[in-house]
Structure 1
Amino acid sequence: MNLRKNNPTDYDLVKQYIDGNHDSIDVLITRHKDRVYTYIYLIVKNHMLTEDLFQDTFIKVIRSLRLGKYQDNGKFLAWVLRIAHNLIIDHFRKEKQNNTFSKDDYELDIFNSSKFCDENCEDDLIRNQIHQDIRDLVEELPPDQREVVILRHYKDLSFKEIADQTDVSINTALGRMRYALINMRKSIDDRNMSLTFQ
C-alpha cells in the first residue's frame, strides 16, 4: 500500500498542481488554512482584514506556483507564511504613506525607510523585517561593496573617511556604494521583496 498516494506530501501536491491537477491546490489550502489564518489574525487582530489578507496570500501562492517561483526545500508552509507576512507589511506600509520619508534617491529609500513616526507593534514588525532583509542583502554583496555599505551606514563614516580607511580614492568609494545599491535594488526586484517605502 502506497501511503504517499493516500497522504501526499506538500511537495507531491505542488508537483501535481504544476503538472495540471488543480484539485491539489485545494488540498494544500485546506491543509494549511488554519495555521495561515491564525498567523495573520494574531498580527492584524481584525477578522475582515485577516480574510482579505488570507485570500490575497493564496492568490499570490497560486500565481507564484504557476510562474515557477517556488523552490521546494521541504518548507512549503514557511514559504506561504512569508508571503502572508510580506502582504501584512505591505498593508501597514500603505496605511503609513503619509508618515514615511520622501524618496529622493534610492540610497535614502533603502536605508532611512524604517524611521516611522509612531511607535507601535506594526512599526516594530515592519522595522524588524526591513532590517533583516537589508542585512541579508548587504551580506550578499561583493566584499569591497559590502565594506563601503557597512562603513557608511552602520559605522557612519564619511566617504572621505571610507576612502582613507580602505586606501582608495573617494571616487572609488562612491563607485562601490553606487554598485552596491544597484546590486541591492536588483536583488529586491528579482525576489519581489517588500522594500518599497512610499
Structure 2
Amino acid sequence: MSILNKKTDQELIHIYLDGKETALAALLERYKSKIYTSIYMKVKDEYLAEDIFQETFIKVINTLKGGKYNDEGKFLPWVMRIAHNMIIDHFRKEKRAPSIVNTEGFDIFDVLDFSDENVESKMLREQRDIDLKKMIQKLPDDQKEVLIMRHFCDMSFKDIADITEVSINTALGRMRYALANLRKMIEGQSLMLQIG
C-alpha cells in the first residue's frame, strides 16, 4: 500500500480502473477525513454522515467504473461536490435545511494536533475553542460553510466556489464577511470581558 500512497490521484484512478481494488482504498484513505468531516459538519449526525459518506463513495465507484469520470486532476473537489449534492438531496427529501457547525458531539477542534502543553495552556486553548465555535455558529450559513471548507478542510477558493456553485469572488466575499463578523464578535467579547 505504501507504493500506492506515493501515486497521484490520477495514477490511483487508472490503477483502480485496471482492476486493482487497493488503489481505490488508497484514495479513500487519503481523503476520508476531509470528506467525512465536511459531511458531518453539515448534517450534524454521526450515523447520517456515515450513510452519506458511503453513498458518496458508491456513486464515485459507479462513476469511475462507468467511465464517466473526467480526469482533470480534481479528484477531491469532484468527490466533495458529489457529497455536497448527496447532502442537498437528503435534506430535500427531509424538507429541512442543513446547518453547518455542530456544538455537540464530534468536534473539529479535537482532530487538530497540538504540541505538548501545560494544564493552564490547555484550559485556555479549550476555552478559546469553545468561544470560537460559539461565534462561528452565529455566522450566516453561507459564511460558515466557506470558513469551514477553507480553514478546516483546507480547500482552495476555486474548489469552494465549484462545490457551492458560486463564483470565486462570491466565495472570497463570503470569507471576508465571515472574518469581519468574527473580528467584531471577538472585539465585542473582549470589551464585555473588560467591563464585566
TM-score normalised by the chain length of structure 1:
0.47
Q: Is the radius of gyration larger for structure 1 or structure 2? A: 1
